[in-house]
Amino acid sequence: GTYWYHSHVGAQRTNGAYGALIIKNKKKVIDDVIDDAANTLVLQEWYESSTNQVPVSILINGNGRTGEYINTGVDAEITKHLKGKGGSFQLKKNKYFDQNNFKTNYKECIIDEPGRTYRFRVIGAISQNFPLKLSIDDHKFTAIAMDSLNIEPVPDLTDLWLAAGERYDIVVKTKAK
């Protein structure tokens, strides 16, 4: 199953004290599916500081980037947003933005055999009540497990919403080219 570990002390989890824990069955569960634990995606929102709880980027396996401008807001507006009641945020210039070095460093999943079906494990290492939406360009996929338990397959998905702590296993039939 797909599990994860994380700290419950202060802002340690938000600052990266977490990771994936993959336990595979002895027997292959699904025939003709490439199941490589390296195809695990840990998704998290990232904050400028522990005092500003406005997400400024999304991290995938600990990597991400921020743009030339980032969102900022006061506590009252952040609270309204987290309660689903709106919230007003402002853009401010990002003092760390480097136009000449603007890359994400996201790990690319290796698709060695185009046209085959691959299993991906997706972990929502989300710190706030801030759901994230995952999609795969020009592909549909099937959810096969949730929170480490096999489920009745849900085919033809185009999007997957993840909340804090949720884990999904999906299979994707890759394109031949």
User: Which residue, chain included where needed, has tokens 């929502």?
Assistant: 124
Distances (CA, A) of 137 to 52, 74, 114, 126, 128: 32, 35, 15, 23, 26
Q: Tell whether pTM > 0.85.
A: no
Distance of CA 15 to the CA centre of its chain: 15
Phi/psi at 100 (5° precision): -85, -5
Res 121: pLDDT: 95
Res 172: pLDDT: 96
Beta bridge pairs of residue 55: 47
pLDDT value at 167 more than 80:
yes
Distance CA 89, CA 72 (A): 6
Cβ atoms within 10 Å of 122's Cβ, excluding its own: 22
